[in-house]
Structure 1
Amino acid sequence: MNTWESIKYWLTEHPTTSQVFKYVIWVLIIIFLLQFVRRTLKKRLPNADTRYKSQKIIETIGYILLIILTISYFTGNIKDFTLAIGLLTAGITITLQELILSIAGSLFIFFVKVYQPGDRIEINGIKGDVIDINSMYTTMMEIGQWVSSDNYSGRIVKLSNAFVFKGPVYNYSQDFPFIWDELNLPVRYGSDVELAKGMVIDVAREVLSEFVQKSVKQWKHVVDKYYIEDAVVEPTLAIAMTDNWIQFNLRYIVDYKKRRMTKNRLYELVKKAIDSSEGKVQLASATFEIVNIPVVDVRTDPAKD
């Protein structure tokens, strides 16, 4: 009996051997197809990161196919092709969940209008201006980090659109492109408080009048659209007594893109008004002033000299 006849005999007379042989053939076919797809993608995908991810995805799909094939051949529990396809689909869904969430996130952003290019948002702890949205990523020009206030850091950040499902999205410009800000002034005790209050309010009205006028209509739209109470958009001033000075707290509304510039302008004009008050209003500080040095009387005993 030659080799071929021996193989034929084992395949025909031993069903288990035949089943194992067919299983091995299918495994080899799957491995060959996966290797072919991997090589093809490796040649055609120019980006290294995309190539790496595609290789991992193909590898995972191969494991899933081999698991389904093994269960089908050696347990006999999966005879329904539809069930096998369902398990394969579930496996692919788990493997590509980040990709699927990103695509779903892009649709959610588009239809719900969570944000759009030009909006200033904060998401996943990163704040910046949205400069692009595609099916996978949101691209932002970063604000803050090592740079103070609302200035650009110079870094462009790409965030997966899946993050819209994983946490809050803070939008600085949607529906109401204004924010409330505060300015604190320490006024020295003994100053003319009423004069100081008048100066601060006058400066605030001069600098902020444009923002107040524009925000009134915008805020009315917000009140009509959402379940929210009406708010005061005019500058308001509150004072508090502290151990060291009288704390002036100015609360005002400002364009979200002009916050830093507006605060600087307010400080300049308030300082100018205080300097022109001829000492009636003075700013306080936490410095200490020594007004008198006590006299120390040192006596010596002549007997010991």
Structure 2
Amino acid sequence: MDSFFMIGPLGTLHVFGIKLVGLNADNGGKLLITFIFICLALILAQALRALTRWTLRSHKNVKVEFWTRQGINLILALLLVLGVCSIWFDDPTRLTTAVGLVTAGLAFALQRVVTALAGYIVILRGKTFSVGDRIVMGGVRGDVVALGFIQTSIMEMGQPPSVQTDQPGMWVRSRQFTGRIVTVPNSKIFDEPVYNYTREFDYIWEEMSLPVSYTADRKRAEEILLEAAARHQAPIDELKQEDIKELQRRYYVVNLEDFQPRVFYRMTDNWLELSVRFITDTHGVRGVKDKMAREMLDAMEASGIGVASATFELVGMPPLRLEVDGSGVKSRSQTMASARQDYS
């Protein structure tokens, strides 16, 4: 053992007679203590995570588990930074100098990483979103499945036809999962707006449009849309009144009349467009609209109301005459001449 590991006269360390540059008995001991300290901190973090899972085993709450993990990670990171600094920098002057150099190096070489870390802090402090929230961030739509110091993981969902041209392209034509997990840097919150579907309210307002001809029974068509919306929208009496009042108090944007389905008219050159507006759960919108569409089509068919489509009316068509002799159809010039003569 002595031949393998030796301490020289000046405190330098030797392994098999080879001097280790920059490593002596002092910093070697600090390195060993640092390794032990990091191992103990990781063990403590694992024990806290296990204790959290055991405590919450009877009542699963995704958001509580998420914020508990975030708290443990933050405590672990702070503990590691303070512990390592205490071991290696017993002189405050040296610590200040080292921190200044490290900060300058990070600001120059790791600008994006520092910005992403700042975005993480803003997300937590500003309650921009949490795990399980449905958001649009960095052009990605979906549910948040993980939030790290540098990036956010999102379970991607498709896009409605109105935004199918957005990048990246989508093959799912509605708000349903595509199966892809997309990682977005936290720094994106400084560059683009973040749309949160579920932060303060678990419901969204949806619309369905139906074109009918001007000669159709539009009153009956409106009734059909309202009946379908009333059957499938979120039950008004199940909405949490305290959440509604809090939303009104904080944002001054919600009118209680908006929770009732309503039909709006829009006149076009070809048809009358009826749009029914209703409130529904954030998740499962495609299934709700599918059921409504099936019921509306059946009711319209029973009422003799057809879905309007673009039509064309030809006016001013001149009369044409086709003459055939014994040998067949006349030549093209003769036929066109006859047409011109008839037209004149």
TM class, shorter-length: 0.5 to 0.7
1:198–1:118: structure 2 CA closer, same or farther, 3 Å change rule?
same
Code of the aligned partner of 1:275: E
Q: Among residues 271, 284, 287, which one is paired with 1:261 in the alignment?
A: 287
Judge which range, 116-125 or 241-250, deviates more.
241-250
CA distance in 2, matches of 1:132, 1:195: 48
* Counterpart position of 2:126: 112
* Counterpart position of 1:220: 245
Code of the aligned partner of 1:153: T
* Counterpart position of 1:160: 185
Native 8 Å contact 1:178 1:215 kept in 2: no
Deviation at 1:85, TM superposition (A): 7.0
1:151–1:85: structure 2 CA closer, same or farther, 3 Å change rule?
closer
* Counterpart position of 1:286: 310
CA distance in 2, matches of 1:216, 1:297: 74
Q: Among residues 99, 113, 128, which one is paired with 1:99 in the alignment?
A: 113
Deviation at 1:209, TM superposition (A): 4.9
1:84–1:229: structure 2 CA closer, same or farther, 3 Å change rule?
same
Native 8 Å contact 1:121 1:172 kept in 2: yes
Deviation at 1:105, TM superposition (A): 2.3
Identity of paired residues, percent? 34
Deviation at 1:113, TM superposition (A): 1.6
1:108–1:85: structure 2 CA closer, same or farther, 3 Å change rule?
closer
* Counterpart position of 1:248: 274
SS of 1:180's partner is strand
* Counterpart position of 1:7: none
CA distance in 1, matches of 2:99, 2:152: 33
CA distance in 2, matches of 1:151, 1:257: 9
* Counterpart position of 1:233: 259
* Counterpart position of 2:212: 187
* Counterpart position of 2:200: 175
Q: Which runs of 5+ in 1 are unaligned?
A: 1-31, 34-80
* Counterpart position of 1:202: 227
* Counterpart position of 1:41: none
Deviation at 1:121, TM superposition (A): 0.7
Q: Among residues 301, 314, 321, which one is paired with 1:275 in the alignment?
A: 301
- Residues 142-200 of structure 1 deviation map (CA, whole Å, 9 limit, x = unaligned): 11223211121211111222222332111011111222221111112321222221222
- Residues 69-121 of structure 1 deviation map (CA, whole Å, 9 limit, x = unaligned): xxxxxxxxxxxx97897466323322223222222322222232211111111
Deviation at 1:227, TM superposition (A): 4.1
1:294–1:207: structure 2 CA closer, same or farther, 3 Å change rule?
farther
1:216–1:91: structure 2 CA closer, same or farther, 3 Å change rule?
same
1:229–1:259: structure 2 CA closer, same or farther, 3 Å change rule?
closer
1:153–1:251: structure 2 CA closer, same or farther, 3 Å change rule?
same
1:108–1:228: structure 2 CA closer, same or farther, 3 Å change rule?
same
1:200–1:85: structure 2 CA closer, same or farther, 3 Å change rule?
closer
Native 8 Å contact 1:119 1:174 kept in 2: yes
* Counterpart position of 1:143: 157
Code of the aligned partner of 2:261: P
Structure-to-structure mapping, 1:13-24, within 5 angstroms: none
Deviation at 1:213, TM superposition (A): 3.5
1:255–1:100: structure 2 CA closer, same or farther, 3 Å change rule?
same
TM-score by length of 2: 0.57
1:198–1:90: structure 2 CA closer, same or farther, 3 Å change rule?
same
| Aligned length in residues | 221
CA distance in 2, matches of 1:84, 1:189: 78
- Residues 16-49 of structure 1 deviation map (CA, whole Å, 9 limit, x = unaligned): xxxxxxxxxxxxxxxx87xxxxxxxxxxxxxxxx
CA distance in 2, matches of 1:100, 1:298: 81
* Counterpart position of 2:148: 134
CA distance in 2, matches of 1:85, 1:106: 21
With CA pairs under 8 Å and 6+ residues apart, which has the higher RCO, 1 or 2? 1
Deviation at 1:135, TM superposition (A): 2.1
1:234–1:294: structure 2 CA closer, same or farther, 3 Å change rule?
same
* CA RMSD across the alignment: 3.1
Native 8 Å contact 2:234 2:279 kept in 1: no
